[in-house]
Amino acid sequence: MVKTITVRDEVYKKLLAVKGKDESFSELFERLMENVNLIEILKRLRGCVEIKDKNEILSKIYASRVEHGL
């Protein structure tokens, strides 16, 4: 599946500067995300985001964990 994203010109130029010559943007994003600590990002977002239907989301998370044997 392909998705279209929009970035400002200055962001695009920065991405081009770090993208390898034969690297796609998808590969670049994967490489940039390899060392990201998602737990730390979630901790920084705590209190910044209002979650509606929290119980529904938690139910889906728990179901997914069971489905994947976690």
pLDDT in tens, 2-59: 889 999 999 999 999 999 999 999 999 999 888 888 888 888 888 887 778 889 999 9
pLDDT at 28 (0 to 100): 93
pLDDT at 62 (0 to 100): 93
Residue 2 inside a domain? The answer is no
What's the domain range around 49? Answer: 9-67
Closest C-alpha among 15, 47, 45 to residue 31: 15
Residue 3 inside a domain? The answer is no
pLDDT at 1 (0 to 100): 87
Report how far residue 52's alpha carbon sits from residue 49's, in angstroms, rounded to the nearest whole number.
Answer: 10
pLDDT at 24 (0 to 100): 94
Q: At what angle do helices 25-33 and 9-18 cross, to 10 degrees?
A: 80
pLDDT at 15 (0 to 100): 94
pLDDT at 41 (0 to 100): 84
CB contact at 8 A, 15 and 7? yes
Which residues neighbour 25 within 8 Å (Cβ) at sequence distance 6 or greater? 15, 19
Amino acid letter for position 28:
L
Residue 13 inside a domain? The answer is yes
